C-alpha cells in the first residue's frame, strides 16, 4: 500500500485505511484498552466526553447480536473482524447543574473514534466504520436509552488476505484517495481559494 500526501504529515494519517478483509484472530485486552485510552483523551465541548462504547469480541455472548444488526452485505465481511464496537453519544451535557442539549455530541464522538482508530493502527490493528445497520433494532436489542445517539459500528481486526474476504469485495480492497485541499479548504466562503498559489492559478 502506498498513498502519498500532497503536504507533509505523519505517516499515521495516510497509513490508516478501512479494510474489509480481517483474520478474525482474538484481540488482546491490552490493544483494546490502549485504543480506548486514546479515545478517552479526545477533545470535547465543555469536556463533556459524550462518547460511550459497547464492545463485542468475535464469538462472545454479544457477537451474534451485533453481527445481526448489520446490513447483510456488511455482515459478509464484518463477521470476520476481531471485535465490533458500537459508538454512542450522549445528547445532553451538564451546565450549571442542569442537563441541556449538547449540539456537538456527534462531532465530539467523532474525535474520540479518530483517536481510537489511529491508536489501534499504531498497535498493528485496523478499523472500519460501518453506517449500514439497523439503528432501531440496535436501540432495542442493546437497550440504548433515548438520550443517547447511536453513531456507528466499528469493525476492528488484523488485515487478512483476499482469501478471507467475500469475492464481491475483492476489487475494492485497496486504500482510497482523497480530494485535494483546494476542494475542501476555503477562505471565509465556499469557493474562495484559501492559499495564495491557488488564488493566482484561478
pLDDT per position as a tens digit, 152-188: 999 999 999 999 899 999 999 999 999 999 999 999 9
Residue 143 corresponds to which cell in the numbers above?
437497550
Model pLDDT, residue 100: 95
Each residue of 22-43: pLDDT tens digit? 999 999 999 999 999 999 999 9
Q: Where do the DSSP E strands lie in the chain?
A: 51-57, 83-90, 92-95, 98-101, 126-130, 148-157
Model pLDDT, residue 97: 87
User: Distance (Å, rounded) from C-alpha 6 to C-alpha 52?
Assistant: 35
Residue 44 corresponds to which cell in the numbers above?
470535547
Model pLDDT, residue 202: 62
User: Distance (Å, rounded) from C-alpha 65 to C-alpha 156?
Assistant: 16
In eight-state DSSP terms, residue 164 is G
Cα within 13 Å of Cα(117), Cβ side: 21
Among 73, 74, 68, 103, residue whose Cα is nearest residue 89 = 103
Q: What is the pLDDT along the chain (202 residues), one digit of tens a residue?
A: 568 999 999 999 999 999 999 999 999 999 999 999 999 999 999 999 999 999 999 999 999 999 999 999 999 999 999 999 999 999 999 988 899 999 999 999 999 999 999 999 999 999 999 999 999 999 999 999 999 999 999 999 999 999 989 999 999 999 999 999 999 999 999 999 999 888 777 6
Among 95, 83, 25, 93, residue whose Cα is nearest residue 54 = 83
In eight-state DSSP terms, residue 189 is S
Model pLDDT, residue 44: 98
User: Distance (Å, rounded) from C-alpha 159 to C-alpha 175?
Assistant: 12
Amino acid at each position: 500500500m502506498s498513498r502519498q500526501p500532497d503536504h507533509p504529515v505523519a505517516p499515521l494519517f495516510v497509513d490508516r485505511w478501512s479494510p474489509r478483509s480481517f483474520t478474525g484472530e482474538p484481540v488482546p485486552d491490552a490493544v483494546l484498552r490502549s485504543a480506548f485510552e486514546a479515545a478517552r483523551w479526545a477533545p470535547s465541548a465543555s469536556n463533556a466526553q459524550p462518547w460511550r462504547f459497547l464492545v463485542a469480541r468475535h464469538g462472545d455472548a454479544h457477537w451474534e447480536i451485533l453481527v445481526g444488526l448489520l446490513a447483510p452485505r456488511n455482515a459478509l465481511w464484518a463477521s470476520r473482524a476481531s471485535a465490533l464496537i458500537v459508538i454512542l453519544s450522549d445528547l445532553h451535557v451538564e451546565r450549571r447543574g442542569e442537563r441541556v442539549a449538547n449540539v456537538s455530541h456527534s462531532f465530539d464522538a467523532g474525535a474520540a473514534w479518530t483517536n481510537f482508530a489511529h491508536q489501534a493502527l499504531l498497535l498493528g490493528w485496523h478499523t472500519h466504520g460501518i453506517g449500514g445497520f439497523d439503528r432501531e433494532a440496535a436501540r432495542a436489542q442493546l437497550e440504548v436509552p433515548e438520550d443517547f445517539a447511536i453513531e456507528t459500528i466499528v469493525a476492528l481486526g488484523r488485515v487478512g488476505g483476499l482469501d478471507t474476504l467475500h469475492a464481491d469485495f475483492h476489487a475494492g480492497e485497496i486504500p482510497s484517495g482523497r480530494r485535494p485541499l483546494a476542494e475542501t479548504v476555503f477562505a471565509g466562503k465556499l469557493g474562495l481559494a484559501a492559499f495564495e498559489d491557488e488564488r493566482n492559478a484561478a
